[in-house]
Amino acid sequence: MLLINHVKKLLVYITLVSLAASCGENSAQSINPAIDSTEKKNLIAIAEDKPALDTAEYNRLLHYISRRDSSGRWPVKTAYPSGATILPFKRIVAYYGNLYSKQMGALGEYPKNEMLKKLKAEVDKWTKADSVVPAIPALHYIAVTAQGQPGADHGYRLRMPFSQIDTIISWARSIGALTFIDIQIGASTIEKELPRFEKYLAMPDVHLGIDPEFSMKTSKAPGTVIGTMDASDINYTTNYLAGIVKKYNIPPKIFVVHRFTQPMVTNYKQIKLHPEVQFVMDMDGWGIQARKINTYKSFIYPEPVEFTGFKIFYKNDTKRVNATREMQPEDVLKLTPQPVYIQYQ
């Protein structure tokens, strides 16, 4: 049943090919937006006065979200971040999606003003549920989408035009929100896809997500099987992000990895953390509440990396079980550790 659902989801992705084509092949497969010397100076100037980390409060909040875990797994023992951070001081509440599709998430499903209003309501709801870790908004945009067809370079993925990223960043900044760029690499590699976004990741308010579900290590097309990423893929990404932070002298980056099965992320103990990167393992599964909680306890809790996230589906979590509503903040906050990244699709 799970695999059938993913195949259906890929039918939505395939429609993006013709939509993006209407923008022109060059815009859908556009070149890396170079950073000229003036832009680089401006980016560095923005971050020159970055505040220091309050280590005492950082430690207190780590223990708070770990809910007195007795296993010794949480909180994870790591080096302090390289500067003031967002996590665990704030809880990020994000709307996820793509502007070409109304079926890939709330970000693309609703008109801009309605979408931002709904997001604000969710943020307020989370802050009301836990004022110790107040919520802040984010827009999580799928910038590279997996495809059911190979395309000209057999990459099984489609790159969105950079103009859409510009639009999302503009929307996010209008409400004081963060932006996440999400990558579904298909049969490509993270080494090929990630450097295209340097200009955006150099911005202090832009962060990253990757989706192992659509990382195909075999000849199979995305959606026919569930993909996977190894610690080596993740370590390339964390090394790259750490380099960006050092190069542009900006606060630590947040890096979200989506996961709902154990094989989606292999060799987790070999994942290397950096003071410049805050790592979030995001529970990405859909279904009834008991199923989602079981997934979290089975694959997220026992394999600690740094922080955790939790995904809530407005439709898939309810429509097949006749549930009246999706999980609420009070439900999710009972988890150990408490997720500090919440994504709505």
- Taken in order of first residue, the domains within the chain and their CATH numbers are 2-24+51-67+74-344 (3.20.20)
> Who wins on pLDDT, 11 or 242?
242
- Phi, psi values for residue 246, rounded to 5°: -70, -40
Q: Which residues contact 178 (CB under 8 A, 6 or more apart)?
A: 86, 92, 94, 136, 137, 138, 139, 172, 205, 206, 207, 254
Give residue-wise pLDDT tens across range 87-114: 999 999 999 999 998 888 899 999 999 9
Distance in angstroms (rounded) separating the CA atoms of residues 48 and 60: 27
Reported confidence tier of residue 242, pLDDT bands at 50, 70, 90: very high
Q: What is the mean pLDDT of the chain?
A: 87
Do 302 and 73 form a contact (C-beta atoms < 8 A)?
A: yes
> Who wins on pLDDT, 336 or 34?
336
Give residue-wise pLDDT tens across range 287-302: 888 889 999 999 999 9
Give residue-wise pLDDT tens across range 55-67: 999 999 999 999 9
pLDDT at residue 24, as a whole number: 37
| pLDDT over 90, % of the chain | 74
Write out the two tokens for 236: 């390339």
pLDDT at residue 321, as a whole number: 59
Tell me: pLDDT of 283 over 90: yes
Distance in angstroms (rounded) separating the CA atoms of residues 58 and 174: 28
Least confidently predicted of 43-52, 72-81, 166-175: 43-52
Mean pLDDT of the region 316-337: 84
pLDDT at residue 37, as a whole number: 55
Reported confidence tier of residue 34, pLDDT bands at 50, 70, 90: low
Give residue-wise pLDDT tens across range 195-236: 999 999 999 999 999 999 999 998 899 989 999 999 999 999
Distance in angstroms (rounded) separating the CA atoms of residues 178 and 176: 7
Q: Which residues contact 344 (CB under 8 A, 6 or more apart)?
A: 93, 94, 95, 96, 105, 106, 119, 122, 311, 312, 313, 314
> Who wins on pLDDT, 227 or 322?
227
pTM over 0.85: yes
Mean pLDDT of the region 257-286: 96
